[in-house]
Amino acid sequence: MIPFIKAEYLVHEYSRRDEEGNVTGINRALDGISIEVKAGDFIAVLGANGSGKSTFAKHLNALLVPTEGTLYVDGKDTSDHNNDLAVRQSAGMVFQNPDNQIIANIVEEDAGFGPENIGIPTDEIWHRVEESLKNVGMYEYRKASPNHLSGGQKQRVAIAGILAMKPKCIILDEPTAMLDPAGRISVIRAVQELNKKENITVILITHYMEEVTAADYVYVMADGQIKMQGSPRQIFAKSEELAKYKLTIPEVTKIALELIKKGINIPKDILYVEELTDILLKLKVSATVGVRKE
Amino acid sequence: MLRDITIGQYYPAESAIHRLDPRVKVVATFIYIISLFCFKQLSGYIIAALFFLCMVKLSRVPFKFITRGIKPIIFMLIFTAALNLLWTSGENVLIKAGFITITAEGVKKMVFMALRLVFLIIGSSLMTLTTTPNQLTDAIESLFKPLNKVKVPVHEIAMMMSIALRFIPILVEETDKIMKAQLARGADFESGNVIQRIKSMVPIFIPLFVSAARRANDLALAMDARCYHGGEGRTKMKPLKYKKKDIAAYLVMLCYICLIIAAGRILPV
């Protein structure tokens, strides 16, 4: 099967220029990234500030083109500008700031903005807008002004705006960085559901460890390179290595690791609070049973 | 709250005027304004006033909302009235004191000119009261479309207008935030003379401009990501379509302008 996204030795350089326009320095934001993503996957890209993860996201949407290497999205070369619209239509992008990506003054009109641009007939636009707003749970706010919504709601409207273009893949560039915890949960839940129910490929770029637990596969980026990759459990088991890239593991995993240090026999790749409590309860039961036998 | 500010002065109501196609309202307002300059005698003013009152009644907008539009131009109104009063020469001198001469013709001209201005303002405010800013930009885009042929970027201008409308509340809120942040750092916006006060605004406007530029950059990226590529090949989610009542409204306007012109020719006063 052809991978949905295929990056081969991707390099991107930003050049700094002085006032006359002479290049004074080159900043290698991406340094040889090779990734393959299958259709329907939920991928997370982790990285601290300045790791190059947002630059990578912009490449996936043809907003930036590679300095070296090649990137194919849905079988199309992103460095060819004739492919821009097709690439953006099949891989939609959600940005960090919810206010700066909503274009229209009414929720439903914003969801319709993408389909309008790609020339969908009026009736079909209405159909798609309804469907996509329902998918993110924002249908009852369709007549509202975006200025009256919370951050999480605005971000879900932005996702609906992308969904209405019927993409095969959604790229989310730190979608929760400006949200409160409740908004963060609502956005991640909406994304998870889209991945499962609509089989949309998701690429979540973030530095929040808790959000990564939802992903099938995780890439860790630092200095423009991919330093680690694996399932969330595999990644979180290596807390020392993560710390080297200025990333910290979720609180639950941290507690589990501390408990292991104290000599308690539990696995070291725990991701969820419920998981840890279950294991600890079982330990407690077996311990009390053991005491009675003696 | 600042979030609730509306630009323009839309008055939400269910009325025949509200439901009209926004293009009809824009065109009708233009016709009305032009009609105000088609007559010179009292009967014309009466017809224009009666017609306007009918429209207000139909629109269900309370009269005080309509007259509110006059407030900001009251100074200009007095100024033009005074100029007309003092500078009109005529035979029937009413008062003569020093270099000031007031004639009966002057009084008549003053009253008519002031009335004309008032009609002009309240006529256009009836349009903005019954049309949302969004509908207005749609109407402008559609009405000025022919200008595309002479390379006027009509779609882009309408797009900019509607984006500006969306960002005004956001920027107002931001200004408020910056002001509070500067106040917390001991800034003083209240005291001092005019020049000092203007100077104290600099620390508000610089961060505001920086952030507006940043927002513009973000928004441009987001629009790119959503396949925006100008007006070409673009479809409309809410296309404007003329209905029967819109045609009827055009006919009403046609009758009105004929009546005004006829009155100007036939009626003596």
**How many angstroms separate the Cα of B17 from the Cα of each of A123, A260, B61, B127?**
26, 74, 10, 9
Domain residue extents for chain A: 39-65+81-242, 250-294
Please provide the average confidence, as pLDDT, over all residues in chain A: 89
Q: For residue B2, what pLDDT is reported?
A: 45
Q: For residue B37, what pLDDT is reported?
A: 87
Please judge whether A119 and B237 are an interchain contact, meaning their C-beta atoms are less than 8 angstroms apart. Answer: no
Domain residue extents for chain B: 2-143+242-266, 150-225
What's the CA gap between A102 and A44, in Å, rounded?
A: 24
Kindly list the residues from chain B whose CB atom is less than 8 angstroms away from the CB atom of residue A95.
218, 221-222, 225
**Nearest 5 degrees, angle CA B23-CA B24-CA B29?**
100
For B75-97, give one letter per residue: b (16+ CB within 10 A) or e: eeeeebbeebbeebeeeeeeeee
Please provide the average confidence, as pLDDT, over all residues in chain B: 86
* Phi-psi map region of B98: left, alpha, beta (phi>0 left; psi -120 to 50 alpha): left
Threshold 0.90, pTM exceeds: no
Q: For residue B3, what pLDDT is reported?
A: 45
Examine the pLDDT at B29 and tell me if it is beyond 90: yes
Examine the pLDDT at A290 and tell me if it is beyond 80: no
pLDDT bin (cut points 50, 70, 90) of residue A294 is low
Comparing alpha-carbon positions, the chain A residue that sits nearest to B229 is A117
The average pLDDT across A114-133 equals: 93
Task: Note the ipTM here.
Answer: 0.83
pLDDT bin (cut points 50, 70, 90) of residue A291 is low
pLDDT digits (tens, 9 = 90+) for A136-170: 999 999 988 888 899 999 999 999 999 999 999 99
| Cβ contact A54:A36 at 8 Å | no
Determine contact: A130 vs chain B, CB below 8 A. no
pLDDT bin (cut points 50, 70, 90) of residue A19 is confident
Q: For residue A293, what pLDDT is reported?
A: 56
Q: For an interface test with A, which of B1, B234, B237 has the most A Cβ atoms less than 10 Å from its Cβ?
A: B237
The average pLDDT across B221-230 equals: 90
Of A102-111, B143-152, B188-197, B254-263, which range is least confident? B188-197
Examine the pLDDT at A13 and tell me if it is beyond 60: yes
User: Residue B102 gets which letter from DSSP?
Assistant: E
Of A7-11, A21-25, A108-112, A219-223, which range is least confident? A21-25
User: Smallest Cα–Cα separation from B10: which of B65, B74, B64?
Assistant: B65
Tell me the shortest Cα–Cα distance from A277 to chain B, in angstroms: 42
Please judge whether A113 and B219 are an interchain contact, meaning their C-beta atoms are less than 8 angstroms apart. Answer: no
Where does residue A289 rank: exposed (0-12), middle (13-18), buried (19+ CB within 10 A)? exposed
Contacts of B136-141 with CB under 8 Å at 24 or more apart are B136/B8, B136/B22, B136/B26, B137/B161, B137/B162, B137/B165, B138/B22, B138/B238, B138/B240, B139/B21, B139/B22, B139/B23, B139/B25, B139/B26, B139/B240, B140/B26
Q: Which two tokens stand for residue A103?
A: 């274009």
Examine the pLDDT at B196 and tell me if it is beyond 90: no
The average pLDDT across A10-31 equals: 84
Examine the pLDDT at B7 and tell me if it is beyond 60: no
Examine the pLDDT at B102 and tell me if it is beyond 60: yes
Second CATH level (architecture) for the domain A39-65+81-242 = 3-Layer(aba) Sandwich (3.40)
Q: For residue B25, what pLDDT is reported?
A: 93
Comparing alpha-carbon positions, the chain A residue that sits nearest to B174 is A99
pLDDT digits (tens, 9 = 90+) for A185-240: 889 999 999 999 989 999 999 988 888 888 999 999 999 999 999 998 888 888 88
